[in-house]
Structure 1
Amino acid sequence: MTDPASTPARDRVLVEARAVRKVFDLGSHFLERTRREVKALNDVSIAVRRGESFCLVGESGCGKSTLARVIMGLLPPSSGEIHFDGTRIDGLRHKARRPFHRRMQMIFQNPYASLNPRRTVRQTLEEPLRFHLPELSDAEVRETVERVMVSVGNDPTWISRYPHEFSGGQRQRISIARALMVDPEFVVADEPISALDVSIQAQVLNVMMDARDQRDLTYLFITHDLSVVRHFGTRVGVMYLGSLCELATTQALFETPRHPYTRILLSAIPRVSTEEMKPPGLPGEVPSAMNLPSGCVFHDRCPLANARCSAEVPRPLAQDDGTLVACHAVEEGRG
């Protein structure tokens, strides 16, 4: 076993989810004997290395945001473990977890809902500093707020204004500034550009990439837009119905997609040529997470499925290039 001290810093795992399951109990009707449950995550394991931009992709409802919230401690896992920099954190009480709150920050999807409309930008940005770094003087707090605002392309004179006075892109840059205020190591970005106009999505992405390079940040970036992943991500995890289908480097995923679901997702990316804009489509609808299919959760929509797929849950298997694929068809060479 490799000594962690001898592993290059950028190759070390910073955040790890091990066999995480999350079940939401919906209770039961008085006429029902069984309780209704939503199985949002099913034994999902990922390891995010220090300094990388790890992307999670998949259709809406596949469990991406749930996994992010479990990692951040906003939701407790039903089973499994969350580790940060070698320390298990999912079972820590609030006081014991507080030091990790400073090192782990989150950018939410909707900039119109994530900022308190009754607080000025100054109050919003100063709050995390005064909570996590109470030893800072008022002058040091003001200096830090101004420095971070400038670093993400914001005008420092905005600090006396309220959220309703800004556009969506400006609000999201303020949200990014809030996440960076306490100099975190790890940032979860939960679809941070999906609520923005296309014309300003690139601006916000550039701000995030600049912050990554300047601060040596580690990102967990959640999106359903694979064209964004191509430019932003270093590695990609593909999820379907609470399960991890494929995990690969960005280059390997786009050049040699292995899982049938990944191939269909990639085929749906718009192309310049009209001849290439004919994705095979996905038959049927996504099954309910309250009643998961047996075996592989994708088998009833998969063009390569056979009897084994409907009876046996596939295990993630490493390929020659290090890609992990959970698919019987890939294992048996049926693809």
Structure 2
Amino acid sequence: MKDAITQDAPLLKLKGLEKRFELDKGLLEQIKFKNGKLTREARAVHAVNGINLTANRGEALCVVGESGCGKSTVARLVAGLLTPSAGEIHYDGSRIDTLGRRELLPLRKKMQMVFQNPYSSLNPRMTIQQALEEPVSHHFPKLSRAEVRDKVAEVMRSVGVDPSWGKRYPHEFSGGQRQRIAIARALTVDPEFVIADEPISALDVSIQAQILNLMLEAKDERGLTYLFITHDLSVVQHFGTRVAVLYLGTLCELSDTATLFENPKHPYSRALLSAVPQLKDDKPNHIRLKGEIPTPIEMPQGCPFQSRCAFATNRCQAEKPRPLQQPDGSLVACHAVEEGRIDA
């Protein structure tokens, strides 16, 4: 049932979102021999662990972290490409993670996704015109063929793609051109929410700025809301309105972009930001993390960052920290910050 919605209500809301990928599915795979005894043990990769997150209308929410931290899994869960193991996903006031494929169809027009690899996101057997017209014809069945062509041509021009390219195939274009075409395909159905999963990481640095500027222009002109997945914090500083920092599928810190870059609070956030090159730093103060990275198969009992944190105590080993709101409005899940052992 749809909740009462106000203009200030978040467009996207994740509540206790979890995703586990089972490794041992059969009975024989689950039987282990330990300490001279046969035991049954089902292992799983804990990719996303109890994330609570909201995306407000018109903002660019960036999700950052190291490779394997669960960023792309969150994106695929929101897009409906994966099913959550636990938790809820609410979009525009309605729960969507329990919907079937047919019930999700009306949402496909509102919610679009731009993938990381522009070389695999377009069908090599379809011309660019066919690839762009297909979603328009599907979601706007009342439009005539001429109206579909006009709509596609308009969107192509808006992203810097010449409509005359429509007769060509994907292999005839560079990576940057393909990503522009992929963005055009997402925009042809007039979405309000775009999930961008590392959309520039496969592109040359010289092209990345062009694609980012294109996405920002589309955001302003069309009133888009972005869920932007990236590992590049220098991109986040210019693109994002708020930033969620993940570590081993757990939310460490959530803050608006300016606050995070001026005053990161979680030890992991500080380490990440210390690695961002700054022209003004004559003597960069890089934080070198020590210790072993826990495996997502055997998650630690307490804080997932404890093995690499210089501020870890016995409490960090036994108790998982909860995200607590700070005076500047940011959320930080860290016992050291809560106890005042780190200057927040």
Give the TM-score, by structure 2 length: 0.93
> Is it true that 1:17 corresponds to 2:24 in the alignment?
no
CA contact 2:63–2:227 (8 Å) conserved in 1? yes
Distance 1:274 1:331 in 2: 30
Indicate the residue corresponding to 2:197 in structure 1: 190
Alignment-mate amino acid for residue 116 of structure 1: N
In 1: Cα distance, 2:99 partner to 2:279 partner: 50
| Equivalenced residues, count | 330
* SS in structure 1 of the partner of residue 165 of structure 2: helix
Judging changes above 3 Å, is the alpha-carbon distance between structure 1 residues 128 and 71 closer, same or farther for their aligned structure 2 residues? same
What SS does the corresponding residue of 1:96 show, helix, strand or coil?
Answer: helix
Q: Which amino acid letter does the alignment assign opposite residue 176 of structure 2?
A: G
TM-score of the two chains, using structure 1 as the length reference: 0.96
Alpha-carbon offset, residue 286 of structure 1? 2.3
Letter in 1 for 2:229: I
Distance of 1:155 and 1:286 partners within structure 2: 47
2:211 is aligned to 204
CA distance in 2, matches of 1:13, 1:224: 24
Alignment partners' CA distance in 2, 1:328 and 1:31: 37
Q: How does 1:1-335 map to 2 (within 5 A)?
A: 7=6, 9=7, 11-27=8-24, 29=29, 31-32=31-32, 33-272=40-279, 275-335=282-342
State the 1:278 CA deviation.
4.0
Aligned sequence identity (%): 61
In structure 2, stretches of 5+ residues that fail to align are 33-39
- Measured in 1, the distance between the counterparts of 2:200 and 2:145 equals 33
Superposed CA offset, 1:162-200 (max 9, x none):
011001000000000011110000000000000000010
Q: Secondary structure at the match of 1:224?
A: coil
In the aligned structure 1, how far is the partner of 2:237 from the partner of 2:194? 19
Verify the 8 A CA contact 2:23 2:43 in the aligned structure 1.
yes
Which structure 1 residue ranges, 4+ long, deviate > 6 Å from structure 2?
Answer: none
How far did 1:30 drift?
Answer: 6.2
**Alpha-carbon separation, structure 1, partners of 2:306 and 2:81:** 32
Secondary structure, aligned partner of 1:127? helix
Q: How far apart are the structure 1 equivalents of 2:150 and 2:287?
A: 55
Deviation at 1:273, TM superposition (A): 5.2
Classify 1:4/1:249 alpha carbon distance in 2 versus 1 (closer, same or farther; 3 Å). Answer: farther
Q: Deviations over 1:117-150 (max 9, x none)?
A: 1111011101111111111100010001000000
Report deviation, 1:161: 0.4
After TM superposition, give the deviation of residue 270 of structure 1 in Å.
1.1
State whether residues 200 and 211 of structure 2, in contact with CA within 8 Å, keep that contact through their aligned partners in structure 1.
Answer: yes
Q: CA RMSD in A?
A: 1.3
Secondary structure (helix, strand or coil) at the match of 1:270 reads coil
For residues 268 and 276 of structure 1, the distance between their equivalents in structure 2, rounded to whole angstroms, comes to 12
Cα distance in 1 for residues equivalent to 2:90 and 2:281: 46
- Residues 4 and 254 (structure 1 numbering): CA distance in 2 closer, same or farther, change over 3 Å? farther
